[in-house]
Amino acid sequence: MKDKTLLRTGIVGTVIAALCCFTPILVIAFGAVGLSAWLGYADYVLLPALAFFIGLTAYALHRRRRAAD
């Protein structure tokens, strides 16, 4: 995967996961479609996803710096 695509994927994923973790966007969206019972398990998915995308962004930045040197 290209460094630019990897970095873009990491940043977009981090922003989406952070929005769902730290704002009530997911609560409002799930409540609107009647899936609010699933919110009890959302932290089991969102927090590891946030950690993964932060790691992906860090890895992409590391590859980009190494390629620039």
- The whole-number average pLDDT for the span 29-39 is 84
Please give the average per-residue pLDDT across 39-64, as a whole number: 88
For residue 29, how many C-alpha atoms fall within 13 Å in the half-sphere facing its CB? 8
Mean predicted confidence (pLDDT) in 27-55: 85
43, 17 in Cβ contact below 8 A?
no
Band of residue 34 on the pLDDT scale cut at 50, 70, 90? confident
Q: Where are the domains of the chain?
A: 3-68
Contact present, 13 and 49 (Cβ < 8 Å)? yes
pLDDT, mean of residues 53-57? 93
Q: How confident is the model over 3-31, as pLDDT tens digits?
A: 788 899 999 999 988 887 777 787 888 88
